[in-house]
Structure 1
Amino acid sequence: MRDLPVIDAHHHFWDPVRNDYPWLDPRRPMIPFRYGDYGAMRGRPFLPEDYDALTGHHRVVASVTMEGEWNPADPTGESRWMAGLAARTGRPAAHVAQAWLDRADVEAVLAAQAALPLVKGVRHKPRAAPSPAQVERGAPGSMGDPRWRAGYARLAAHGLHFELQTPWWHLDEALDLVAAHPETPLVLNHTGLPSDRSEEGLAGWRAAMRRLATAPQVWVKISGLGLPGRPWRLEDNRAIIRETIEIFGAGRCLFASNFPVDGLCGSFETIFDGFRAAVEDLPWAEQLALFHDNAIRLYRLGLPAAG
């Protein structure tokens, strides 16, 4: 197999033994989780040496960490901890930080996050409806909330992009948001969460993704494709991977592991072997873009492109 460098565009490092991650604290109640029982992750650190033990034959040359829902009373605490980890180990190469866009302290938080060279963007999971039929436009905490949008409007001044995790039935709200703020790149996490694999569900996901892709500043991470109660299989995910690339183009898609979370569904090797098999017929330059070069551009990593 041809050598392919990988920049993992979305994973976590955390240490819930020493740091405060409420959802990973085994002394606290579990939260509803899209993969079901996540007890195997609770109370267990996931650090560079743990990550390295899982990557197998894949040549991961750099990676980007995502905020892991550190205690929101201290939104910059994880970023400072991550900067210290990078100083000691050389990883991660970039970090996406926590910021609550509808909080009164959003300006101070964004300024503090942007002051850390490791931080390239922020994530705030907006309020989401449990189904397409229950979407309430403008609901408090949603992307249509005026306070939320006011926080989003501050991102460009701090040189930060936004990472969005939301079900596909909220992507029209995201399209409204990026139309109002075209200067701010938006990165859709986890392929728009196509968890409903029925014909109707996939048709809704596909149409929403096509509408969002009309905004040129939107990127998408192909990740988070696990299904509850079953192992990660290429036959479940190949069509979604290829449709996402067809919709957004190879220049705006990135592959990512979402580890250790997606470790609940499959091994790192299984998932990245699946990604590689899904695109093995694409031109080599496009494969390099998906696995490596696009992450350099989006996260401004200062590394040489491979393609």
Structure 2
Amino acid sequence: MTRARSTIDSPRPDWLDQLREEIIEPDLPIIDPHHHLWTRHDGYLLDDILADAGDGHDVVATVFVQCRYAHRTDGPVPLQPVGETEAVRAIAEAGEARPGAPRIAAGIVGFADLTLGDAVDEVLEAHIAAAGGRFRGIRHITANEPSFESALLPVDPGIMASAPFRAGFARLAAQGLSYDSWLYHPQIPQLTDLARAFPDTAIVLDHVGGPLGIGRFTGLEREVFDSWKRALTDLATCPNVSVKLGGLGMDITGVTWARNPQPPGSQEMADRFRPYVETAIELFGPSRCMFESNFPVDKVSSSYHVLFNAFKRLASGASDDEKRLLFHDTAARVYRLSL
């Protein structure tokens, strides 16, 4: 069994500080549509995300995505995840008191157990009430791959096709909410089937669909890419699906940067990410793609300013309008952010 360490290891500031790059296109506005906040490991809270987002790039706002942070420890179990939304709202409001700071957690994506079916409405409404106008959607993680150990909670491999999950999923559009999907690349066809069954529900594929490079996929980079591309090509026919470009610094993808003496530069990262990022943009178009940090998870592999330099290298051939979509406008539209 191979452990997916990048989902549980802590970033190493001294290691990251070995590399400093000049910021590419420092005036390009950015909405970071995917980061976490938590107290586990060394912690990652307001000061941490502000330090990263303020490290040279013009980050104007962010979207928080659920990570089992600050769940309530008492009361009805289905409502316990609302504690995360309450805590993140407090952090967002504290950030708004910082003059000139990015709007941290301008959008919040929380967790609700969609297998509750129609009963999930109570949880969704509690999240909306707790968020102070910031609540945008639900992420119910469905990532499942038995060939390696993961820090994620166990998941029924057929959950996306189950009647209870779909009954709960049907309530998202009714509540004006979107769905973030975190799965691994062999599961993309299941998401395609779900997207076709619910064409009025906005779906966001996190981390370009989780291409794997460990467990039974170790050393099979070409085969993984080909399988991922076939599945993504089919998914792209669903107009209600958008894609986050990022999450490729996790070592479940097969990268080993965190084990090297020095962190990678943005060119090395761009070269590694290019096949997946360029293919996703070609299939979905800039209006359905958005660059994401996935911090602090991807901070195991690189600093924030180097990561976004890599993204800007990948977008160097795009027009100004396309860059604005990839770095700002798609995220603003998908998460309904009025900035």
> TM over 0.5, yes or no?
yes
Give the deviation of 1:140 after TM superposition: 6.5
CA contact (8 A) 2:31 2:331 kept: yes
Structure 1 portions without partners, runs of 5+: 17-23, 25-41, 132-137
Task: Tell me, in whole angstroms, the C-alpha distance in 2 between the residues paired with 1:179 and 1:239.
Answer: 26
- Equivalent residue, structure 1, for 2:6: none
Please point out which of 120, 130, 134 is paired with 2:136.
120
Structure 2 portions without partners, runs of 5+: 1-23, 97-103, 148-154, 214-219, 259-263
109-118 vs 272-281, which moves further: 109-118
Structure 1 segment 91-130 matched on structure 2, within 5 A:
91-103=104-116, 105-115=119-129, 116=131, 117-126=133-142, 128-130=144-146
RMSD of aligned C-alpha atoms?
1.9
- Equivalent residue, structure 2, for 1:53: 51
CA contact (8 A) 2:143 2:184 kept: no
- Equivalent residue, structure 1, for 2:248: 225
CA contact (8 A) 2:142 2:157 kept: no
SS in 2 for 1:153: helix
**What count of residue pairs does the alignment treat as equivalent?**
271
Please point out which of 75, 89, 93 is paired with 2:95.
89
CA contact (8 A) 1:141 1:148 kept: no
Runs of 4+ with deviation above 4 angstroms:
138-141
SS in 2 for 1:214: coil
Name the CA shift for 1:140/1:230 in 2 (closer, same or farther; >3 Å): closer
- Equivalent residue, structure 2, for 1:173: 190
SS in 2 for 1:259: coil
CA contact (8 A) 1:251 1:290 kept: yes
Give the deviation of 1:141 after TM superposition: 5.9
- Give yes or no for the alignment of 1:9 onto 2:53: no
Any idea what the Cα deviations from partners look like across 1:176-195, whole Å, max 9, x if unmatched?
11111111100000010112
- Equivalent residue, structure 2, for 1:209: 232
- Equivalent residue, structure 2, for 1:33: none
Name the CA shift for 1:59/1:127 in 2 (closer, same or farther; >3 Å): closer
Task: Tell me, in whole angstroms, the C-alpha distance in 2 between the residues paired with 1:144 and 1:129.
Answer: 17
160-169 vs 112-121, which moves further: 112-121
Any idea what the Cα deviations from partners look like across 1:240-271, whole Å, max 9, x if unmatched?
11111011111000011011111011111121
CA contact (8 A) 1:114 1:158 kept: no
204-213 vs 115-124, which moves further: 115-124
Name the CA shift for 1:230/1:140 in 2 (closer, same or farther; >3 Å): closer
- Equivalent residue, structure 2, for 1:262: 298
Any idea what the Cα deviations from partners look like across 1:69-95, whole Å, max 9, x if unmatched?
234841100001111222222222111
279-288 vs 81-90, which moves further: 81-90
- Equivalent residue, structure 2, for 1:66: 65
The alignment-based identity, stated in percent, is: 37
- Equivalent residue, structure 2, for 1:75: 81
CA contact (8 A) 1:234 1:274 kept: yes
Is the helix fraction higher in 1 or 2? 2
- Equivalent residue, structure 2, for 1:238: 274
